[in-house]
Amino acid sequence: MSDRLIAHGGRVTVSAIAAWFVAACICGILGIIDSPGRPPIALGGFIGLPLLGFVAAYRISPSIRAFAASLSFPLLVGSHLWRFVGLGFVIAWLEGALPAGFAIPEGFGDIIAALGALLLLPTLRKGRVPRGLLLAWNTWGFLDLISAIVMGVLYSNSTLGILSRGTATTRLMVTFPVSLIPTFFVPLFLLLHALTFKRLARGVPISGTKTAP
């Protein structure tokens, strides 16, 4: 695999992610993500468009595939340590800022995903983690993020917030800077989970850092 190809793919990917992050910040600050009484179109766009865009770019661009293939399993898994942020969801529920139906399952789901990543890392770096165990952790983490999106919308103050009647809403999650979680971090880490699934399915060695795209 050409180092030049990997470097080019890395520059393109990092630039796209940076632009996505800036757009999420601007829209969060301007309150565009919050859609009380309206369909959550902006939120859906920030989740759906990057996912579709990166999947399309991966299929079309050899350099982006090469860069993605250069990412090690320890990096892919270790990056999920940020999901200890789930503790903040539980605290927000205790303070009445988030509904229990969202904060408890999604908060503890993230904590479990982060704790699993922390426990996997030592042996993962040595390439000795059973593939089935890594697959189980990745499946949990992926489904937890999907659940967070669904429950976040169902408890929102938008027209789709059918579970928010008479209870707290998830408006905190679309208020900057917390809005960066659903508009940037959740879809980004769904992509990392998808990449991990793909590499496990293709039998990529867990100890390897570079493989053919």
Helices assigned H by DSSP within the chain: 3-30, 41-60, 62-70, 73-78, 86-94, 100-124, 131-154, 180, 186-201
Tell if the pTM clears 0.75, that is, is over it. Answer: yes
Q: Tell me if 198 sits within 8 A of 211, measured CB to CB.
A: no
Paired tokens of 98: 């988030």
Distance from C-alpha of 60 to C-alpha of 65, rounded to nearest angstrom: 9
- What residues does each domain of the chain span? 3-201
Paired tokens of 99: 């509904």
pLDDT in tens, 6-59: 999 999 999 999 999 999 999 999 999 998 999 999 999 999 999 999 999 999
pLDDT of residue 1: 52
pLDDT in tens, 72-111: 999 999 999 999 999 999 999 999 999 999 999 999 999 9
pLDDT of residue 49: 96
Paired tokens of 179: 């809005």
Q: Tell me if 168 sits within 8 A of 99, measured CB to CB.
A: yes
